Structure 1
Amino acid sequence: MKMNRKLTWMLLFGVATLFTQCKDSGDEVEVDDENELITSVTLKFTESGTNTVTSFSYKDPDGDGGNAPTKFDTVSLKANTSYTLAVEFLDESKTPVDNITEEITEKSDEHLLVFTPSPASLLTYTYGDKDKNNYPIGLTGTAKAGVAGTGKLKVQLRHQPNAKNGTPGPGSDDVNLDFNVKVK
């Protein structure tokens, strides 16, 4: 009888342990999306009133870190001129090339492009696109060059899954580049 009681308690303890350690797969926490690998960024400026498109690119075939970029153009714009600006992102480490711009469009509620000129008078940017929550995206917009001068244009693609609020924070950078700019 004592042996049966011990066996019953051991069996009960084993079953209780089994139930406390097993989780239903529906209870698992989903990991946030990872940052995209982006090896190429192209800024396409179309001068207002014309069909003239001038592109400026950054290329780093192995991505951030490792080897230095193979191309980093200086953006050259006309003073006091408005442009339509479209931005393209690619992952050229894959065959075929992965168009990250399409993924950004599909997940626009998780991405924000931020354009920061230095000095601020160098350029102004107005967003031309919005996500489903009415927050800016930045894949298209209007850029207006200021007076002649030189400086930098920081281009950041902010990755903000489940946190986008129309501002650069919170989130992490998929891209953070400082283009040299000449306005003449």
Structure 2
Amino acid sequence: MPKFAILLLLLVVVLYASCGNDDGPVIENEEEVITDLVYTLVPTGGGQAVTMAFRDPDGDGGQAPTLTVSDSLQTDQTYSGTIVLTNASDPTDVEDITAEIRTEALDHQFFYIPSSGLTVTPAYADSDAQSNPIGLLTTLRTADASSGELRIVLRHKADKRASGVTITDPAGAGGETDIEVTFPVSVR
């Protein structure tokens, strides 16, 4: 086979290989769209549950989100907390973001940050495969009567082992904030 034919064949092979499917870059883990967040606190000794709900069906911009808190927390009480997140931007196809976070637990961490003066102490009640906190399940301990705000933050790709990072302090965790919601809370 002449050198020209070999070079031509090689050129055809190279061109064919470079003309593959070019759909653009593959996004490994696209940021979650979260339109609804519901944090439910159930007293461990029995009693009335308290539900904190955030709803923003049209996402960022447009109409303002709605925040509701069903009741006050009771003094000197321990609550078991469960958080549920959904994407209801398409009401005919509501997506369970909580399941996605559970599946990608290594990449997600919630933070529960009470304002100064609010007498609540949150704690993690779940962990990922590397024994680092997630925050889908929590406990919340109340003390004396007080009022303030409880800020809930979900971070994606946070450094869960960074120095100083706690359930109430995400400052050193880094990562991207998937959602941040602040609820008015009272303890009575």
With structure 2 as the length reference, what TM-score do the two structures score?
0.78
Q: Give the CA deviation at 1:72.
A: 0.4
User: How many corresponding residue pairs?
Assistant: 174
* Aligned residue among 55, 59, 64 for 1:68: 64
- 1:134 aligns to what SS in structure 2? coil
Q: Which runs of 5 or more structure 1 residues have no equivalent in the other structure?
A: none
* Aligned residue among 60, 79, 85 for 2:81: 85
Distance 1:23 1:117 in 2: 55
Q: Does 1:158 align with 2:155?
A: yes
Question: Aligned AA for 2:185?
Answer: V
* Aligned residue among 16, 40, 43 for 1:44: 40
Closer, same or farther: CA 121–53 of 1 in aligned 2, 3 Å: closer
Closer, same or farther: CA 181–121 of 1 in aligned 2, 3 Å: closer
Tell me if structure 2 keeps the 8 A contact 1:109–1:164.
no
RMSD: 3.2
* Residue-by-residue CA offset, 1:114-159 (whole Å, 9 max, x unaligned): 0000016521111000001111000111101232111111100111
Q: Which runs of 5 or more structure 2 residues have no equivalent in the other structure?
A: none
Q: Give the CA deviation at 1:23.
A: 9.6
Tell me if structure 2 keeps the 8 A contact 1:111–1:164.
no
Distance 1:35 1:140 in 2: 22
* Aligned residue among 95, 104, 109 for 2:101: 104
Distance 2:55 2:183 in 1: 12
Q: Corresponding residue for 1:172?
A: 176
More helix by share: 1
* Residue-by-residue CA offset, 1:5-45 (whole Å, 9 max, x unaligned): 9xx6xx68x94xx58x94999xx975341211111111101
Q: Does 1:181 align with 2:176?
A: no
Q: Give the CA deviation at 1:76.
A: 2.1
Q: Corresponding residue for 2:131?
A: 134
Tell me if structure 2 keeps the 8 A contact 1:150–1:181.
yes
Distance 1:107 1:90 in 2: 15
Moved more, 47-56 or 97-106: 47-56
With structure 1 as the length reference, what TM-score do the two structures score?
0.79
Which is higher, the Rg of structure 1 or of structure 2? 1
